[in-house]
Amino acid sequence: MIVRSLNIDKDPYRPCEENEEILGPEVPYLNAIGALMYLTNYTRPDISFAVNLLARFSSSPTKRHWNGIKHILRYLRGTTDLGLFFPNSSKQGLIGFADAGYLSDPHKARSQTGYVFMNGGTAISWRSQKQTLVATSSNHAEVIALNEASRECTWLRSMTQLILTSCGIDKDKSPTLIYEDNAACVAQMKEGYIKSDRTKHIPLKFFEYTQDL
């Protein structure tokens, strides 16, 4: 993606302004978003965030947003040899990675949730989505992202166990590792809910669900 500015007034992906012209129907913005979303969901997790960001302006896209679409298309053109490879000899089980981008949407004070799960060394499930709650700290945003990843992990584990059972293979009862890079979030998940001035604004349900996993 084009480097975004910390100044919200200079952000190339800011919402449409009053003095800007909205693209007409002759520009296939919605068609391009639909095609990119198909790629994002099935074969190209590396463009998830960029497509999620540009899809927010489908109702009122401008030339700035269309330039972002063309930037992604140029990237895809130059990386046509990339793909998901599933090796037969890999013995690595299910493993997850969760992260959050605090205030990735500074215009609406929203953060971004991102996670990816790998099985056999290859990505099998991923998501990059703007959070519906307003996170008041980076720790809060990370807890929300980890909670979403835990919900996805629960579904993946149940699906995996069903496949193993139907094939006559013993179930894997070992826990699933989910990596998180925020030290405060890791400490809270390890120790349970810690009430303090910095955490009392985080709903308790996020800790309960992750602890049950």
Q: Residues 135-180: pLDDT tens digits?
A: 888 888 999 999 999 999 999 999 988 988 898 888 878 889 999 9
Residue 170 and residue 206 in one domain: yes
Whether 114 shows a pLDDT value over 50: the answer reads: yes
Domain's final residue, options 20, 52, 83: 83
Whether 121 shows a pLDDT value over 80: the answer reads: yes
In this structure, what token pair is assigned to residue 73?
A: 């298309």
In a domain, 2, yes or no: no
Domain holding 135: CATH number? 3.30.420.10
pLDDT for position 23: 93
Dihedral, 7, 9, 10, 12 alpha carbons, nearest 10: 110
* Number of domains present in the structure of the chain: 2
In terms of Cβ atoms closer than 10 Å to its own Cβ (0-12, 13-18, 19+), residue 198 is middle
At residue 213 the predicted structure's pLDDT band, cuts being 50, 70 and 90, is very low
pLDDT for position 53: 94
By the 8 A CB rule, do 100 and 112 touch? yes
In a domain, 18, yes or no: yes
In a domain, 1, yes or no: no
Give the chain's mean pLDDT: 88
Residue 100 and residue 202 in one domain: yes
Tell me what percent of the residues of the chain surpass a pLDDT of 70: 90
Distance CA 184, CA 142 (A): 9
Query: Which neighbouring-strand residues pair with 126?
Result: 116
Say which residues have a Cβ less than 8 Å from residue 53's Cβ, sequence separation at least 6: 1, 13, 68, 104
Residue 142 and residue 110 in one domain: yes
pLDDT, average across residues 24-28? 93
pLDDT for position 40: 94
Which residues constitute the domain of residue 152? Answer: 95-212
Residue 57 and residue 141 in one domain: no
Q: Which of the residue ranges 58-62, 168-172, 199-203 would you say has the lowest mean pLDDT?
A: 199-203
| Side-chain half-sphere CA neighbours of 209 within 13 A | 16
Query: Which neighbouring-strand residues pair with 128?
Result: 114
pLDDT for position 48: 95
Higher pLDDT, 33 or 194: 33
Residue 116 and residue 48 in one domain: no
Residue 119 and residue 192 in one domain: yes
Whether 208 shows a pLDDT value over 70: the answer reads: no
pLDDT for position 169: 84
Q: Where are the beta strands (DSSP E) in 61-196?
A: 95-105, 110-119, 122-130, 177-180
Domain's final residue, options 32, 52, 83: 83
In a domain, 200, yes or no: yes
Residue 41 and residue 16 in one domain: yes
Whether 66 shows a pLDDT value over 90: the answer reads: yes
At residue 6 the predicted structure's pLDDT band, cuts being 50, 70 and 90, is confident
In a domain, 3, yes or no: no
Domain's final residue, options 25, 60, 83: 83
Residue 200 and residue 160 in one domain: yes
